Chains A and B, each alone.
Chain A
């Protein structure tokens, strides 16, 4: 239910993937911080994701070619890490901390409130492509539980009835 249309057809890509010049030079810059270029694979995926919102099919080949490692290794890394997205996501990412501290603080009611307002559960993207809702490991905001991170902003003491106001800031 509530599956965003984004998640259906766009999974099948018909265009050829190519890194932009900016992405390529950023990845090449990162490589030099390490003894082995492979070490830049996670950063390379983050660079691609920053520019495009997610990591499209074909990125693994392009990144692997720069770093000199098999595309399958890049894909293995991309699918391991929870903050690398291998399918399209919304313009904004809502990360709800689900540590036991935020559980005691009532994070499940916050998730329910988001679900009610956006019509999406954890792991889903709203129909208008505005938000993706994800769980996240402890955000380190435990004295202000429950904590929610939207894009790069962390909020504490989030109440279910305060969610609407919070979301307004992210068009």
Chain B
């Protein structure tokens, strides 16, 4: 009755420890892997190595050398982020936060890991906390992921009972306690500093940076915030080493390791797979997702979440890694792609997306609070065929004024990136929404030259 996230059958048979560090332990019946089975599958071996044999600085250096980048969508190098934590030993109260507030539209990768492999996340957090000298960690989990909360809490109790969390873990003298903190809605909580405000029990408005969380984070203490999938990469990097990790990606990829990638929409086989960075989007779309369902044609696609731009079918030859997708004009984001089929009107789709972004704006800064509802109003008018001749220029003006660097956080830039690309590739559909009796366009002064 209550289906758990399934991993696509395409690579269910092909997973192994060498090539699928994130998913090889998954059970074919999609039930959670509890402690006994996890340890039987080599679980916590990397934690034993990190806590028993490695200096804290060596763990940080290993992660730096591995080239691991954040898997939450922004792709910031994890080792560099870790390196920002203060060297001053006197600042001894430090926190590790796991960003498990997965609300990005079309993203369900962290849910899979937390529901089915809760110990992988705990082991990743344990090793990372040791590296960062954090004494306490919180998993900031969205409230709607009730199965993930139950499974993580049970796994934490198992780990505590086995001496893998708590005082003097594995005899190393290192103490680490871990809590699950569940949220109460609002997409903006996934923004790193908004997440910190929310954890502190405040409204989830983003904070000004600098100071960065590494210097002044939760309760003013040095804090590191990492995504679920990022932390889940850490055990294999420590356990199997940098050379192995760097051999995972396809030749030509500048990003290292494997990535949970997906394809959804009206494709034959929507799903989620662990794949090497650098595979072509076409391989993901055709070989794994099986191409479009009969009767549908691919109109355009988004590489990784609502905040990434639309791409055309011809862009499917792009490689799935940060710079590979940047070459065709947008970001890889979460790596879970969406197929838009030819039955979808782009104005309606963008109206739906901007309604979401508008509703989820925290309202703190003016361009986002006022600009996004404005875009919704225009898109609704265009959808009804009642747009004015200035509307498209006004939308492009909003794409400009809400773009990167002009708002307090990345929410509004993420909201207008798909809008800008949709107008760029499908302008005729927007023009079709202008009312036939509309007054002639004015001078278009809205958009600065």
B108 touches A142 (CB 8 A): yes
A98 touches B352 (CB 8 A): yes
9 pairs, CB–CB < 8 Å, chain A vs chain B: A35-B93, A36-B201, A39-B199, A100-B105, A138-B107, A140-B108, A140-B110, A144-B3, A153-B1
Interface membership of B272, Cβ < 8 A: yes
Interface residues of A (CB under 8 A from B): 33-36, 38-43, 45-46, 67, 69, 73, 76-77, 80-84, 95, 98-101, 103-104, 135-145, 149, 152-156
A84 touches B184 (CB 8 A): yes
Chain B CB within 10 Å, residue with most, of A43, A73, A135, A138 = A138
Chain B CB within 10 Å, residue with most, of A41, A81, A142, A149 = A142
Main secondary structure of the interface of A (DSSP, over half): mixed
Residues of B77-99 at the interface with A, using a CB-CB cut-off of 8 Å, are 93
Chain B CB within 10 Å, residue with most, of A83, A84, A135, A140 = A140
Residues of B322-338 at the interface with A, using a CB-CB cut-off of 8 Å, are 336, 338
Q: Which residues of B contact A41 (CB under 8 A)?
A: 201
Q: Which residues of B contact A135 (CB under 8 A)?
A: 359
The smallest beta-carbon distance between B299 and chain A, in angstroms, is: 10
Which of A137, A141, A152 contacts B187 (CB under 8 A)? A137
Interchain Cβ contacts within 8 Å, total number: 141
A82 touches B219 (CB 8 A): no
Q: Which residues of A contact B5 (CB under 8 A)?
A: 140-141, 143
The smallest beta-carbon distance between A67 and chain B, in angstroms, is: 8
Instruction: Give the complex CA separation of A103 and B306 in angstroms.
Output: 12
| Given the contacts A142-B106, A149-B144, A101 and B184 also touching, CB distance less than 8 Å | no
Q: Which residues of B contact A95 (CB under 8 A)?
A: 144
Stretch from B22-30, B39-47, B245-253, B259-267 at the A interface: B259-267
Which of A38, A139, A145 contacts B264 (CB under 8 A)? A145
- 1/0 per residue B5-42: CB within 8 Å of A? 11010000000000000000000000000000000000
B360 touches A137 (CB 8 A): yes
Instruction: Give the complex CA separation of A152 and B183 in angstroms.
Output: 14
- 1/0 per residue B45-57: CB within 8 Å of A? 0000000000000
B204 touches A100 (CB 8 A): no
Instruction: Give the complex CA separation of A69 and B264 in angstroms.
Output: 45
> Contacts A83-B183, A140-B102, A143-B262 given; 7 further ones with Cβ under 8 A?
A36-B201, A42-B201, A81-B183, A103-B352, A137-B105, A140-B107, A142-B270
Instruction: Give the complex CA separation of A152 and B203 in angstroms.
Output: 24
A101 touches B106 (CB 8 A): yes
